[in-house]
Amino acid sequence: MERLQKVLAQAGVASRRKAEKLILDGLVKVNGEVVTELGTKVSRMDTIAVEGVQLTKEKPVYYLLYKPRGYISTVADDKGRKTVIDLVPEIEERIFPVGRLDYDTSGVLLLTNDGDFSYLMTHPKFEIQKRYVAKVKGIPTRENLKKLETGIELDDGRTAPAHVKMTTVDKKTNSAIVEITIHEGRNRQVRRMFDAIGCPVTKLKREQFANLTTRGLNAGEARQLTTHEIKQLRVLAETGKIG
């Protein structure tokens, strides 16, 4: 017997937190009855439906996508915009993006149908590091780079410490390229951090997610994670070290 929200997450319906909301909102039925208690436990013999659709347990799958600019990180869009799922039509499982990269940001994006894995990769308490390369307008001062490193005040709170390195300065175009590594995943966080120091981002790419990069992929291409890579990511979330 397992908790209902865990079963929903493992089946790829949503992250465990979102699965809890589905239950509380009365959108989940077990054996034909609406269930709204989070402590409810179910077995393999139970029939579960979410918003009228019966749950079928899929084999968990894990992909790394080199997301190009011009796609949104969601399963579907009510405005008809292209989504990252459109890039992988050959995948039969009901996958969803692990966290998000905004419309104009490219780089490493994980896709899965495993809600528990998604939770491990995205919750700030597990401190999974993500490295970005940002081209910015203006040349950040040493003082401003220090602000990014130690934490900067945004409208939704102070950011956690970051690793920051300015790699290129172009005085002719008044621009710079800065590498920044963070473990949080707030909405448009990197862009807002640079806005806060007066150096707006003109181009942004997530170069690395934990120990994963886009090496070997062209923009728009995806590959399955290896069993070893999946194990490494789980160990990293649980111990803070690559297994």
| Alpha helices (H) in 98-221, listed in sequence order | 115-122, 142-150, 189-196
Residue 37 has pLDDT above 80, yes or no: yes
Confidence of residue 112 (pLDDT cuts 50, 70, 90): very high
167-175 long-range contacts, Cβ below 8 Å, gap at least 24? 167/133, 169/139, 171/139, 174/137, 174/138, 174/139, 175/135, 175/136, 175/137, 175/138, 175/139, 175/202
Give me the catalytic one of 102, 104, 116, 195: 102
Confidence of residue 243 (pLDDT cuts 50, 70, 90): low
Distance, in Å, from the CA atom of 171 to the CA atom of 164, rounded to the nearest integer, reads: 20
Percent pLDDT > 90 in the chain is: 74
Are 66 and 214 a contacting pair, CB within 8 Å?
yes
pLDDT at residue 78, rounded to an integer:
79
Work out whether strand 105-112 and strand 201-209 pair parallel, antiparallel, or are unpaired.
Answer: parallel
The whole-chain average pLDDT of the chain stands at: 93
Residue range 87-103: average pLDDT? 91
Q: What is the pLDDT of residues 129-169, one digit of tens each?
A: 999 999 999 999 999 999 999 999 999 999 999 999 999 99
pLDDT at residue 158, rounded to an integer:
96
Confidence of residue 230 (pLDDT cuts 50, 70, 90): very high
pLDDT at residue 113, rounded to an integer:
87
- Between residues 118 and 197, which one has the greater pLDDT? 197
Residue range 189-208: average pLDDT? 98
Q: How far is CA 173 from CA 139, 166, 169, 178, in A?
A: 10, 16, 9, 15
Residue 10 has pLDDT above 80, yes or no: no
Q: Catalytic: 102?
A: yes
pLDDT at residue 1, rounded to an integer:
77
- Between residues 57 and 119, which one has the greater pLDDT? 119
